[in-house]
Each structure stands twice: as C-alpha cells, then as structure tokens.
Amino acid sequence: MGGGGEEKPFNFLQVLCEGVIAGGTAGVVVETALYPIDTIKTRLQAARAGSQIQWKGLYSGLGGNLVGVLPASALFVGIYEPTKRKLLDVFPENLSAVAHLTAGAVGGFAASLIRVPTEVVKQRMQTGQFKSAPGAVRLIVGKEGFKGLYAGYGSFLLRDLPFDAIQFCIYEQLRIGYKLVAKRELNDPENALIGAFAGAITGAITTPLDVLKTRLMVQGQTKQYSGIVSCAKTILREEGPGAFLKGIEPRVLWIGIGGSIFFGVLEKTKAVLAERSSRKTLANKDE
C-alpha cells in the first residue's frame, strides 16, 4: 500500500479489530454531522410530481439510525481492511484496483445485512411515516412481516455494492498515486480532500440507483412497484428520465463532505491505533 518502513506481518485479528473501531467511529461522526442533508435528499427523491417538501424534523430518526450505522460501519471496515490486505498479497501490484474493488464489494455485502433495516426505518421516519425507531420496527414487522425491514434489498445492493467498490477503489488509487508523487505519507487534510473527491464522484454516478432504492424502501404496503424493473419503468413513464437524477445536488454534497469526514476520521483513527499498537509491541520487547 505504498508506505515506507519495515513491512509488518499480517495479523488478521488486529486488522479486523482496528478496522471495526475506526469504521464505527468514522460512521457515527459522518452520520451525525450530515443527517439533515440526507433527510432533504430522501424527501426530494420520495416526492411525487407536484408534491411539497417538508423542511421540519431534519434530524428525524437519527437516534435509531445511529444504532444501525455504528455496527454497519464497523462491520464494513472490519471486513474491508483484512480482505484488502489479503487480496493485495494475491494480486500483482498493477492490479491493486481489482483488490480494492473486490474488498469494497465484500465489505458492502456484509454490512448490508445491518444497513438495509437501518435504512428502511430511517427513510420511513424521514418521510414522516413514523415518529420513533422502535415504533417503526414494530409496525413494519407487524404489517409487512420481517421481510418489510428488507424492502428494496435488491436495489440497495444494486446501488451500494458498486458504490462501496467504486468509492474505496477511487480513494485507495488516488492515495497510492499521491504517495508516489509526494514521496511521503499523506497528512490529514490530504486524506480528507481525496475522500471528498472519491465520495462526490461516486455519489453522482450512483444517483439513479439511489432513486430506485429510495422509492422501493418508502413505498410500504402501497406496493406501487413490484421490483427494480417495475420501479424504473413507472418512474420513466410517469415522471420522465430527469426523475432518476432527483436529489443529486444534496446527494453529491452530502457524500462529498461525508467522504471527507469519513476518510479523514478513518485514517486518523487507524493511525492512532497503529501507533498505540507499535508502542505496546516495543514495550513488550523491552520487558
């Protein structure tokens, strides 16, 4: 991964634990800071033609969402980091992008098991369907069954697996290139800037998939759409192709700023944990 110094032996458990802590920390910081922008984006995407957007309650559902975001972010990075390390050992250096893409998709799939129910509850609350997360879970399961918590799962994977793979690949590849040019490790502002760029580009590319996912998740029992294809056809027929870019401005803004904060906090936390681990190793050697 382009750092200087002595190569440390790969410790799966240590990398997993450090990834869990760093990912959980970064995820909670980002979600709390940018939740209002996400709420506006969701309401824009969920709104049918001619309907009004509500500007109240922009933090609606944050508490319940953090309960899901913390373990989901922790699980994602906890899986991504050791998978990336292993794949970088397998692939030649000129195919490092494939390792990053694959590790991002694997981490995203694992995290989706927590992310999807969290996202369903969050978006139903953001659109004013429920007042509290526990109440939302009870009513969704009661009316739609357990599968109601996984509404739009296919569209979520269709959006998030490419998103995770592309974002982390762009971020990692830019860091590698920057390190080669600068001939040093990146500082915190540089990590944040690269994270913002990777997030904004990926957010823009995946907006149509995000619109589909939002519509499927917030429809509830109305069952206006029977699936991804049905949803896409209905939107195209009733609202035109421009509807697939609904919410692109707040999405790009949210994910761009989010990428900056997430990767900045992630790299800083990883650096702090690595330094702490090194000090502990040196102390053990001195004993």
pLDDT tens-digit map of 67-98: 888 999 999 999 999 999 999 999 998 999 99
Identify whether the C-beta of residue 130 lies closer than 8 Å to the C-beta of residue 148: no
**Residue 229 neighbours by CB under 8 Å, 6+ apart:** none
Tokens 């913002």 -> residue: 196
- The number of angstroms, rounded, from the C-alpha of 268 to the middle of its chain's C-alpha atoms is 18
**Residue 187 neighbours by CB under 8 Å, 6+ apart:** none
Domain range summary for the chain, segments of one domain joined by +:
22-272
Identify whether the C-beta of residue 81 lies closer than 8 Å to the C-beta of residue 15: yes
Quote the pLDDT of residue 98.
95
Report DSSP state, residue 221.
Answer: G
Topology of domain 22-272 in CATH is Mitochondrial carrier fold (1.50.40)
pTM as predicted: 0.77
Is it the case that residue 266 has pLDDT exceeding 60? yes
**Residue 154 neighbours by CB under 8 Å, 6+ apart:** 227, 228
Enumerate the H helices of the chain as residue ranges. 12-46, 62-90, 96-126, 133-144, 153-182, 188-205, 207-218, 228-239, 248-286
What confidence tier does 6 reach under pLDDT thresholds 50, 70, 90?
very low
Is it the case that residue 274 has pLDDT exceeding 60? yes
Quote the pLDDT of residue 3.
41
pLDDT digits (tens, 9 = 90+) for 14-41: 888 888 999 999 989 998 988 888 888 8
pLDDT digits (tens, 9 = 90+) for 218-256: 777 677 888 889 999 999 999 999 999 998 998 898 899
| Alpha carbons 37 and 45: distance in angstroms, whole number | 12
| Alpha carbons 242 and 238: distance in angstroms, whole number | 11
The amino acid that residue 154 corresponds to is: G
What confidence tier does 184 reach under pLDDT thresholds 50, 70, 90?
very high
